[in-house]
Copies of this chain bind each other. A is one copy, B any other.
């Protein structure tokens, strides 16, 4: 839809008023919202065509597709908001295959009563994140639900990317003897959210690590032969422990970790102790786990440490030949513990 009606009133560049049911009815109000906010901020040739679908040029190669719903509470938090998170999160899921991300779609479910100024901030944040990553938001959708049937805004992003023929990175490719690398400190995102919810303040402010990992992955993939990287995964909900258990199960292997090698910021560790949380299970939104052939571990470690998003990267363990699928950890005090699946609920609506 293009230029369907008069602009929604603005003051100082911000939309005024609140989302109401007419914004979801398919009529004039919805057309205005789409034109004046979404199309204007996301600003690309695909959206400006005004069709219900986007026609895209895709280079030769296999395609990768991933989708993520975002229901984070609160909508705005230290280090980001639901908009930037939605862009980063889906880009990361695409690049964990080794693919280059190309395009995103975004579906919004708005709750009646949401301040349009808040929606504008979120959309601007998404637009900035998408532009920085070179992945335009090419198609979208908006639905509105009554107050009490939603919570502010939910965003579902879907990403597609292109994967070269010789890259085969998958959760079932971990092999005994492989090195396990982690790109940086764990727990930052989950603790930033919890601190925001609980209005906690710490001596050092804890900020979400929400970031797009596409350039980091691209450098890693370029630095080693194609078969060297076996697995890549971003440890989001359920944290590092959940991701490693998933990979161990998919690959029918076990893992040994060295607790002293796993980077945890002092402020995050302190907050976890205060809140009764284990950093191993706390969500991250700008970190990756890499499982690789041991011959290439040092090369990959250096590539990661030379990248802004991998400064604190470390080799945190290795893959063992034991089909029980256990993830064991040698603790800082020399003992040993099993790092099991997350049994209950950790932190709701963390992403």
- Residues of A participating in the B interface, judged by any CB pair closer than 8 Å: 1-5, 20-22, 24-28, 30-31, 49-58, 60, 62-71, 73, 93-94, 96-97, 99, 103, 105-109, 138-146, 148-151, 154, 156, 158, 160, 163, 170-172, 233-234, 236-239, 242, 245-246, 249-250, 283, 341-349
Contacts and interface: CB of A to CB of B under 8 A. Distances in A.
Contacts of A105: 65-67, 158
B64 A341 contact: no
Contacts of A234: 52
Nearest to A20: B345
Contacts of A50: 171-172, 246, 250
Q: Which of A1, A3, A140, A283 has the largest count of B CB atoms less than 10 A from its CB? A: A1
Contact of A171 (B51, B69, B249): B51
Contact of A57 (B26, B55, B62, B146): B62
B22 A344 contact: yes
A56 B66 contact: no
Closest 10 interchain pairs by CB? Answer: A26-B238, A27-B342, A26-B237, A156-B156, A53-B66, A158-B158, A149-B151, A67-B105, A69-B107, A107-B156
Given A105-B67, A171-B50, A171-B51, A26 B236 contact: yes
A156 B142 CA distance: 11
19 contacts: A1-B250, A4-B246, A4-B249, A21-B348, A25-B345, A26-B237, A26-B238, A30-B237, A49-B171, A50-B246, A51-B170, A51-B171, A53-B94, A53-B97, A54-B65, A60-B60, A145-B151, A145-B348, A145-B349
Counting chain B CB atoms within 10 Å of each CB, which of A4, A60, A236 scores highest? A4
Given A49-B170, A154-B154, A160-B160, 9 more contacts: A51-B96, A53-B99, A55-B97, A65-B158, A69-B109, A69-B143, A107-B107, A109-B154, A146-B348
A93 B52 contact: yes
A130 to B, nearest CB: 14
A27 to B, nearest CB: 3
Contact of A346 (B27, B57, B106, B172): B27
Given A65-B138, A151-B145, A348 B25 contact: yes
Nearest to A4: B249
**Most chain B C-beta atoms within 10 Å of own C-beta, residue among A138, A142, A150, A283:** A150
B56 A250 contact: no
A249 B53 CA distance: 17
Contacts of A154: 109, 143, 145, 154
Contacts of A160: 63, 65, 160
Instruction: Identify the interface centre among A69, A96, A105, A246: most chain B CB within 10 Å of its CB.
Output: A69
Contacts of A172: 49-50
